[in-house]
Structure 1
């Protein structure tokens, strides 16, 4: 499945010429709705009557793109499976759907080229991940050996 996720992310990047999850969602016709969730809920994906919705917490700060990428992952990989993205399982996904959505977001936001960009620094993969908006706890989901 990981190779499928990588291929799907690469297909979308090539098709839409962007890694921005908000722009990709717009081009795919996914409705993005800012929402005032409690701190516990960061985002949610909902499929209803052939329409896809991503509800995203207004107060995410630097995690905004990652949460959007995660929810976009649900819309692409699990289009008819409703899912909420809770803080408690953000970094420790319990279900395969949550893990796959996080893998999608990591592949989207953490390009392979980023390692070569930082090769002459002493930054770890985890620190580089944070620079690209990926939580360090999820950097291990990046598939660097696939190309």
Structure 2
């Protein structure tokens, strides 16, 4: 067992108890599974990624910086491995444009400047990661666009639960553990979508059912895609994500009579993944 994992888990458990949350309560608030949180607290899992740490912090109603500090990281300050020369050039310009040597007439000391730089770097890389993943998930091919338009025109809704019902696709809840959040399988010739009990009361169920509906609609001829090669799995999951993004964006318009302003509108409304996780 990694000592750093155990140390973080112990501190997290202590803070959770201090805030008066049970494991189940915090997991529900943070949108993660009970078993995963328990394993983290017991040092049996690695320290979560920054996006998951942020969800835990939000669930406990504490500043995310407190959880980051507990985890020994500085607000996502490190550059992703795939960062390009252009990314670093953009970072340099961004820092030069935003780092102040004084504030309201008071000259900042080196420690204050370094703290400012650390925060700005962390924010910069977080947005680079968000933009990269959001771009990947929102670039749809014509087939997905046409399929979604056909479905909405036929059934007069973009609600994935209503559409599944119209397509005679059963949506059931299953006692999955940490993963998966959902899966699609066939009963005879009919696809069935199973969602984890863990998300039954969470808005995340909308994104997961829309993602699985994407598998059922776009990959209906691939009955064994879960055993496909790794790169196929990646391609099929991305395709299902794109289907979910497009469908739920239309549902947002249907329910609010306006386009979502940004990705976080969809995170809040339908449990979209927090980009960077």
Q: TM-score, normalised by structure 1?
A: 0.73
Matching residue of 2:62: none
Superposed displacement of residue 83, structure 1: 5.3
Superposed displacement of residue 18, structure 1: 0.9
Whichever structure has more helix as a proportion of its residues is: 2
Matching residue of 2:32: none
CA distance in 1 between counterparts of 2:150 and 2:269 reads 20
Larger radius of gyration: 2
CA distance in 2 between counterparts of 1:4 and 1:109 reads 17
Aligned residue runs from structure 1 range 1-147, under 5 A: 2-60=141-199, 61-81=202-222, 82=224, 95-111=234-250, 113=253, 117=258, 125-133=262-270, 134-137=272-275
Superposed displacement of residue 76, structure 1: 0.3
Q: CA RMSD, aligned part only?
A: 2.8
Superposed displacement of residue 31, structure 1: 1.5
Once the two structures are superposed, residues 83-128 of structure 1 have per-residue CA deviations (whole angstroms, 9 ceiling, x without a partner) of 56xxxxxxxx9611111111000000013859x9379xxx6x2222
Unaligned runs of 5+ in 2: 1-139, 227-231
CA distance in 1 between counterparts of 2:274 and 2:204 reads 12
The 1:35/1:5 distance shift into structure 2, 3 A limit, reads same
CA distance in 2 between counterparts of 1:45 and 1:118 reads 29
Contact preservation (8 Å) 1:47, 1:79: no
Whichever structure has more strand as a proportion of its residues is: 1
Contact preservation (8 Å) 2:182, 2:212: yes
The 1:101/1:118 distance shift into structure 2, 3 A limit, reads closer
Count of paired positions: 126
CA distance in 2 between counterparts of 1:80 and 1:94 reads 15
Unaligned runs of 5+ in 1: 85-92, 139-147
Contact preservation (8 Å) 2:195, 2:209: yes
Q: TM-score, normalised by structure 2?
A: 0.41
Contact preservation (8 Å) 1:74, 1:83: no
- The SS at the match of 2:198 is coil
* Structure ranking higher on relative contact order (CA contacts 8 Å, 6+ apart): 1
Contact preservation (8 Å) 1:109, 1:132: no
